[in-house]
């Protein structure tokens, strides 16, 4: 079963029930649609009576692609209606922003819509699922949509994956891209780096090395595979470098030795994979330090506590 069909069924399941005939007539009166829907059983709304989905993760829309879609609408019509919900005295888009933009560009005054019930959380989920199916939505837009959802609704990655019917690793891998330096995120959005390249840089941990590798990828045209191999070589060499000691003194205060930094980055990656959340290792002098485990909700805290304390029995008193 391919991923796209699986996501498609998830999208349908997330939407509220289709509204009944009385509600449709009431909505048609609001839309000045002569008190009834079209012969196709859909409402036909003025394009400017429809507000955009406020939870839409897309930031940029390709004007050329919208123009091509507008030309297609003029030739073939709108095969798939927009999906909207009532929002005060107007309507709010749930699904189909590209089609709405194309219809406006094509000069349409009205568009066919299907009216559904949906709360804000469902709106967020539908927007995410719809855009996961689109290849032209960049990885950071997807990552931000996941992160914002987790922050807004205080749920875990596992819970969101279950609600969207996708693998948790899809969410985790995208959200990790937000840990990269801002300059690399800009290159990723601009298409100068692929998602595969960006993910290959994560194990480095050190921002300066990540930026240097990003520069080499673009200047030397490194493939994702070549980047992964070079990153692993860099980490391996760092792990086996003897610590440089000048005059019998420890490395300068305030900066961890290279080997230590790279080893910490590898350990952070191992712990993140095991725990399913962000982990930071902060090293101090004399081998001391901290391990910081991040959580975004009480439920995720409980999941982590149960995971870390499994098999541990604490005696009372």
pLDDT, tens only, 18-40 = 554 444 445 555 555 544 455 55
In the chain, CATH 3.90.1530.10 covers 17-117
Does pLDDT of 301 surpass 90? no
Does pLDDT of 238 surpass 70? no
pLDDT at 177: 93
Domain covering 17-117 in this structure, CATH number: 3.90.1530.10
In sequence order, which ranges of 165-257 are alpha helices (DSSP H)? 168-176, 182-190, 195-201, 207-220, 224-239
Minimal CA–CA distance to 150: which of 137, 136, 138, 164? 164
Least confident of 109-123, 186-200, 275-289: 275-289
- Direct distance between the N- and C-terminal alpha carbons of the chain, in angstroms, rounded to an integer: 55
Is 97 an active-site residue? yes
Query: How would you class 119 by CB atoms within 10 Å of its CB: exposed for 0-12, middle for 13-18, buried for 19 or more?
Result: exposed
91's enclosing H/E stretch is strand 90-95
pLDDT tier for residue 2 given thresholds of 50, 70 and 90: very low
Distance between CA 297 and CA 91 in Å, rounded? 32
pLDDT at 51: 93
Distance between CA 82 and CA 45 in Å, rounded? 10
pLDDT at 5: 40
Mean pLDDT for the stretch of residues 178-204: 92
Minimal CA–CA distance to 238: which of 262, 213, 214? 262
Does pLDDT of 14 surpass 90? no
Query: How would you class 112 by CB atoms within 10 Å of its CB: exposed for 0-12, middle for 13-18, buried for 19 or more?
Result: buried
Q: What DSSP state is assigned to residue 107?
A: T
Distance between CA 203 and CA 270 in Å, rounded? 10
Query: How would you class 49 by CB atoms within 10 Å of its CB: exposed for 0-12, middle for 13-18, buried for 19 or more?
Result: middle
Least confident of 126-140, 198-212, 217-231: 126-140
pLDDT tier for residue 187 given thresholds of 50, 70 and 90: very high
Other CB atoms within 10 Å distance of the CB of residue 81: 20
Minimal CA–CA distance to 130: which of 13, 15, 8, 16? 8
Q: CA distances (Å), 56 to each of 2, 93, 144, 178, in order?
A: 25, 10, 11, 18
Average pLDDT along the chain: 78
pLDDT tier for residue 42 given thresholds of 50, 70 and 90: confident
Query: How would you class 156 by CB atoms within 10 Å of its CB: exposed for 0-12, middle for 13-18, buried for 19 or more?
Result: buried
Does pLDDT of 317 surpass 80? no
Radius of gyration of the chain (CA): 25
Does pLDDT of 138 surpass 60? yes
pLDDT at 109: 95
- For residue 293, what are the β-bridge partners? 279
Question: Among 97, 125, 130, 141, which one carries the catalytic annotation?
Answer: 97
In the chain, CATH 1.10.10.2830 covers 123-179
Region of 157 on the Ramachandran plot (φ > 0 left; ψ -120 to 50 alpha; else beta): alpha
Mean pLDDT for the stretch of residues 79-96: 90
Tens digits of per-residue pLDDT, 96-122?
888 999 999 999 999 999 998 888 888
pLDDT at 217: 95
Distance between CA 168 and CA 158 in Å, rounded? 6
Asked whether the beta carbons of 113 and 82 are under 8 A apart, the reply is: yes
Does pLDDT of 252 surpass 60? no
pLDDT at 55: 83
Query: How would you class 268 by CB atoms within 10 Å of its CB: exposed for 0-12, middle for 13-18, buried for 19 or more?
Result: buried
Distance between CA 116 and CA 299 in Å, rounded? 30
Does pLDDT of 316 surpass 60? no
pLDDT tier for residue 131 given thresholds of 50, 70 and 90: confident
Distance between CA 208 and CA 279 in Å, rounded? 20
Does pLDDT of 152 surpass 90? no
Does pLDDT of 267 surpass 50? yes
123-179: which CATH topology? Answer: Arc Repressor Mutant, subunit A (1.10.10)
């Amino acid at each position: 079963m391919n991923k796209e069909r699986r996501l498609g069924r998830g999208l349908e399941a997330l939407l509220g029930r289709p509204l009944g005939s009385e509600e449709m007539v009431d909505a048609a009166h609001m839309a000045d649609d002569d008190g009834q829907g079209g012969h196709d059983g859909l409402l036909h709304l003025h394009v400017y009576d429809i507000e955009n989905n406020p939870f839409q993760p897309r930031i940029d829309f390709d004007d050329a692609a919208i123009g091509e879609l507008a030309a297609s609408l003029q030739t073939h019509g709108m095969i798939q209606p927009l999906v909207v919900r009532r929002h005060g005295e107007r309507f709010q888009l749930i699904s189909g922003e590209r089609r709405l933009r194309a219809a406006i560009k094509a000069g349409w005054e009205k568009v066919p819509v299907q009216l559904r019930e949906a709360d804000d959380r469902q709106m967020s989920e539908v927007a995410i699922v719809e855009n996961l199916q689109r290849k032209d939505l960049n990885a950071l837009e997807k990552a931000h949509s996941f992160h914002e959802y987790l922050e807004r609704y205080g749920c875990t990655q596992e819970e969101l994956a279950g609600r969207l019917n996708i693998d948790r690793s899809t969410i985790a891998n995208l959200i990790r891209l937000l840990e990269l330096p801002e300059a690399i995120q800009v290159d990723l959005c601009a298409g100068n780096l692929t998602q595969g390249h960006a993910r290959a840089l994560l194990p480095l941990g050190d921002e300066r090395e990540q930026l240097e590798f990003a520069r080499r990828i673009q200047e030397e045209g490194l493939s994702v595979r070549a980047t992964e191999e070079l990153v692993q070589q860099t980490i391996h060499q760092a792990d086996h470098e003897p610590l440089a000691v000048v005059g019998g003194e420890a490395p300068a205060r305030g900066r961890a030795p290279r080997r230590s930094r790279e080893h910490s980055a590898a350990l952070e990656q191992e712990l993140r994979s095991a725990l399913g959340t962000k982990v930071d290792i902060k090293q101090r002098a004399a081998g001391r330090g901290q391990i910081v485990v991040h959580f975004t909700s009480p439920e995720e805290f409980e999941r982590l506590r149960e995971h870390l304390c499994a098999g541990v029995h604490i005696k009372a008193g």
